[in-house]
Amino acid sequence: MQPNPWLYSREFPGPVNAACQESEGIVTNAADRLISRIRARGNAVVVGIDPRPAQLPAEIRDRFAKDRAGIAGAIRAFGSELIDVVAGLVPAVKFQSAFFEEFGPEGVLALHENAAEAKRRGLFVIIDGKRNDIGSTAEAYARGYLGQPPGNESEGPAWEADALTINPYLGSDGIVPFAKVAAERGRGLFVLVRTSNPSAGDFQDLIAEGKPVYRHVADRLVEWAEPLRGESGYSALGAVVGATYPQQLAELRAAMPGVIFLIPGYGAQGGTAADVAAGCNADGLGAVVNCSRGILFAFERPDLRERFGNDWRGAVAAAVGEMVEDLAAHTPMGKLRA
């Protein structure tokens, strides 16, 4: 395979722990950081932070006004409490930016503060924004979310994100700017390949030149990913592949060695641990599994409400524990505990 000449080339140091700071001038491969955190926690769970105001715990909702600024404040407070609960339990969190952006500047500020707090707590931070564009616009997105925007370097990055989700629909013109910044700054990308939503097949399953579109994307992603491979053997350029299509998940796992899968669809969307198993390598690595509603609003479950009462934090922690046990029992991720 020929390396892509448009990618920034750099020899990365090996895996690091959470104490390693990019602000000290140490640039590390994002995949290595994620693998290091997975090993430290003994699981590959990603807690998806998708705050829905109507479902926030009453003790948080009642502390804030019902206007836009108040709701954004409640979202920020909920996110902060969640981070406090899960920081010692899982390697990563994923912020769905839409649930913050809908509340305007105040919501975006809440996202910024939550992401920065998660980073300080040693979590691998994924911003799920599914950004994409071409040329200078893509470069601006990439600098904003992953790099250093023009201005005073002492201010640091605009966003405390380790990785960003992006859409490949515009082809390599929409990947190159993001990959360059990711390589330069030691950040990661997760490219949509086979998504978990019911209508994904409308376009992704269409046959072109003898194979479905999602396979074309996967094949190109393997090429794009190679120059960003770290000491762990995994690339900082990963793939989003849904748990709700386990046959395609298994197919893509075989076709994409060295690519970390971000797997949505577990839990509320119907994906099971047995479905997720197809996305793992034999040693339990190769994938991280996202769960949002099933963890965030676990306190709504009758069994956990009976067990924890108004202690919604305890219910969230219990739901994380259940997911970790489920994945350990039904996927190769059980080997991560060693």
Q: Is the pLDDT at 267 greater than 60, yes or no?
A: yes
- Structurally, the chain folds into a number of domains equal to 1
Lookup result for tokens 């509320």: 268
Q: What is the pLDDT at residue 156?
A: 65
Would 7 be classed as within a structural domain?
Answer: no
Q: Is 130 a catalytic residue?
A: yes
What does the DSSP 8-state code read for residue 94?
A: E
Please write the tens of the pLDDT for every residue from 34-62.
999 999 999 999 999 999 999 999 999 99
Q: What is the pLDDT at residue 26?
A: 64
- Over residues 238-264, the mean pLDDT reads 95
Q: What is the largest CA-CA distance in the chain?
A: 58
> CA distances (Å), 266 to each of 72, 74, 293, 300, in order?
27, 26, 10, 18
Q: Which residues make Cβ contacts (< 8 Å) with residue 298, sequence separation at least 6?
A: 304, 312, 315, 316, 318, 319
Q: pTM for the full model?
A: 0.90
Would 213 be classed as within a structural domain?
Answer: yes
Please write the tens of the pLDDT for every residue from 157-208.
778 899 999 999 999 999 999 999 999 999 999 999 999 888 988 999 999 9
Q: What is the pLDDT at residue 149?
A: 73
Q: What percent of the chain has pLDDT over 90?
A: 80
Lowest mean pLDDT among 31-35, 196-200, 258-262: 196-200
3-state secondary structure of 222: helix
Q: Is the pLDDT at 20 greater than 80, yes or no?
A: no
Q: What is the pLDDT at residue 18?
A: 31
Would 212 be classed as within a structural domain?
Answer: yes
Would 130 be classed as within a structural domain?
Answer: yes
Domain hosting 216: range is 26-332
DSSP 40-60: HHTS-EEEEE---GGGS-HHH
Would 15 be classed as within a structural domain?
Answer: no
Would 10 be classed as within a structural domain?
Answer: no
Would 6 be classed as within a structural domain?
Answer: no
Q: What percent of the chain has pLDDT over 70?
A: 90
Q: Which residues make Cβ contacts (< 8 Å) with residue 57, sequence separation at least 6?
A: 78, 299, 312
- 273-284: burial string, b at 16+ Cβ within 10 Å, e else: bebbbbbbbeeb
Q: What is the pLDDT at residue 39?
A: 97
Spatial separation of the C-alpha atoms in residues 49 and 80, rounded to whole Å: 10
| Residue 219 amino acid letter | D
Which helix (H) or strand (E) segment holds residue 165: the answer is strand 163-166
Lowest mean pLDDT among 142-156, 159-173, 279-293: 142-156
Q: Which residues make Cβ contacts (< 8 Å) with residue 82, sequence separation at least 6?
A: 47, 49, 296, 316
Q: What is the pLDDT at residue 24?
A: 44
- Over residues 205-215, the mean pLDDT reads 95
Q: Is the pLDDT at 252 greater than 90, yes or no?
A: yes
Answer yes or no: are the C-beta atoms of 133 and 98 closer than 8 Å: no
Average pLDDT across the chain, whole number? 89
Tally of CA atoms within 13 A in the half-sphere of 151 that contains its CB: 11
> CA distances (Å), 241 to each of 165, 181, 182, 193, 200, in order?
12, 23, 20, 6, 11
Answer yes or no: are the C-beta atoms of 72 and 270 closer than 8 Å: no
Q: CA 142, 144, 146, 149: dihedral to nearest 10 degrees?
A: 100
Catalytic one of 66, 94, 130, 335: 130
Q: In CATH, what number is assigned to the domain containing residue 136?
A: 3.20.20.70
